[in-house]
Amino acid sequence: MPELPDVENFRRYLDATSLHRKITEVEVADAAVLRKISAGRLSSSIQDRKFESTERLGKYIFVNLDNGQVLMMHFGMSGFLKYFSKSGSRPPHARVLFGFSNGYTLAYDCQRKLGRIRLADDMESIIREKGLGLDAMDPGLGLKRFRRIMGRRRGMIKTALMNQSAISGIGNIYSDEILFQAGIHPERKLEKISDDELKRVYRMMKRVLGTATERKANPDNYPPSYLAPLREEGSECPGCGGRVEKIKVNNRGTYLCPRCQN
Ligand SMILES: [Zn+2]
């Protein structure tokens, strides 16, 4: 499932390929991904417009159009973007396609149709409606603020990290990685985590998400000390050589090393 590092790379990809060009055609191949707008209205609203700039909050991209409206994209479990030429190949599960005046097309592909696309007058109203918290990589999210946010919550640390209304952008894979790097067991209760431990979680959150983003969210490129490429029960722990264990936390498959994390 695309998390902050993946979605930030999608945003950069969109910036590098699709800005400032007239959108000559909008094709909705499957309206199941649309929210609060019909295929016809989406097409007529975006046709002849341009994508001007992008912003990201957590797992959402907001594309600013040249008429002031905002196109929201969420990638569900399996979404991604692909920019291709007339002679190039259309991705297999393209749900919405934006054709540009240069003959290229940007496709929003989403195999499991759990992603969402929506048009709004501004980004803030969507953020408010969804109750999204600060982005995990927001420079305004310092240690003090992180402590305040976490201090208001109870329950397991992994659950708190994944709660998008506390901090947005972290999902199943990166909460596991952050906690592995911090040496904290994902089921540890927040109220039993010391100040020093919480500081470690904060530092690892920034470091892991930053590293993963710069390495294109591809686990094959991650440092050898990372757990993300080894998400399989019985893998060798890169920290101690022990065995990686799989448990369920809130029904999500969670990987950890019981020796390195406590
Ligand atoms: Zn270990």
CATH (domain of 201) = 1.10.8.50
3 catalytic per annotation: yes
* One domain, residues 116 and 199: no
DSSP strand pairing (60-65 vs 79-84):
unpaired
Are 177 and 235 part of one and the same domain?
yes
What sign does the dihedral 19-20-21-26 (CA atoms) show? positive
What contacts 24+ positions apart, CB below 8 Å, involve 65-70? Answer: 68/121, 68/122, 69/45, 69/119, 69/120, 69/121, 70/119, 70/120, 70/121, 70/122, 70/123, 70/126
Expressed in angstroms and rounded, the spacing between residue 240 Cα and the centre of ligand 1 is 4
Tell me the average pLDDT of the chain: 97
Instruction: Give the active site residue among 145, 206, 252, 259.
Output: 252
Distance 36 CA to ligand 1 centre (A): 47
User: What band does 79 get if pLDDT is binned at 50, 70 and 90?
Assistant: very high
Contact between 4 and 73 (Cβ < 8 Å): no
**Domain ranges, residue 236:** 134-256
> What CATH number has the domain bearing residue 88?
3.20.190.10
The CA 155 to ligand 1 mean position distance, Å, reads: 24
Catalytic residue among 2, 5, 56, 200: 2
Tens of pLDDT, residue by residue over 133-165, are 999 999 999 999 999 999 999 999 999 999 999
Kindly state the helix (H) or strand (E) to which residue 130 belongs, with its residue range: helix 123-130
* Å from CA of 225 to ligand 1 middle: 10
- The residues whose Cβ lies within 5 A of ligand 1, an ion, are 237, 239-240, 242, 257, 259-260
pLDDT given at position 185: 98
Q: Is 248 exposed, middle or buried (0-12, 13-18, 19+ CB in 10 A)?
A: exposed
pLDDT band at 218 (very low <50, low <70, confident <90, very high): very high
Q: How far apart are CA 234 and CA 158, in angstroms?
A: 21
Domain for residue 162, yes or no?
Answer: yes
Do residues 17 and 83 touch, judged by C-beta distance below 8 A? yes
> For residue 173, what pLDDT band results from cuts at 50, 70 and 90?
very high
CA angle, residues 94, 96, 100, in degrees to nearest 5: 105
Determine what percent of the chain is predicted with pLDDT higher than 90. 100
Q: Are residues 169 and 231 in the same domain?
A: yes
Domain boundary among 68, 95, 130: 130
Of 45, 26, 39, 57, nearest to 121 by C-alpha is 45
Report how far ligand 1's centroid is from the alpha carbon of 238 (Å): 6
Active site residue 59: yes
- What is the largest distance, in Å, between two alpha-carbon atoms of the chain? 58
Domain end position, chosen among 91, 108, 130? 130
* Catalytic choice (5, 8, 56, 59): 59
Separation of 257 CA from ligand 1 center, angstroms? 5
pLDDT tens figures, 225-252: 999 999 999 999 999 999 999 999 999 9
DSSP letter at 225 equals T
Please count the structural domains in the chain.
2
**Contact between 193 and 184 (Cβ < 8 Å):** yes
Exactly one of 3, 82, 95, 200 is catalytic; which is it? 3
Residues 23 and 103 in one domain: yes
Q: Global pTM?
A: 0.97
Same domain (yes/no): 74, 101: yes
| Residue pair 167/4 in contact by the 8 Å Cβ criterion | no
Does 67 fall in a domain?
yes
Q: 209-232: string of b/e by CB count within 10 Å (b at 16+)?
A: bebbbebebeeeebeeebbbebbe
pLDDT digits (tens, 9 = 90+) for 80-108: 999 999 999 999 999 999 999 999 999 99
Measure the CA dihedral 222/228/229/234, to 10°.
Answer: 140
Give me the pLDDT at residue 220, please: 96
- 213: Cα separation from own chain's centroid: 10
Say how many Å lie between the CA of residue 129 and the centre of ligand 1: 41
pLDDT in tens, 49-73: 999 999 999 999 999 999 999 999 9
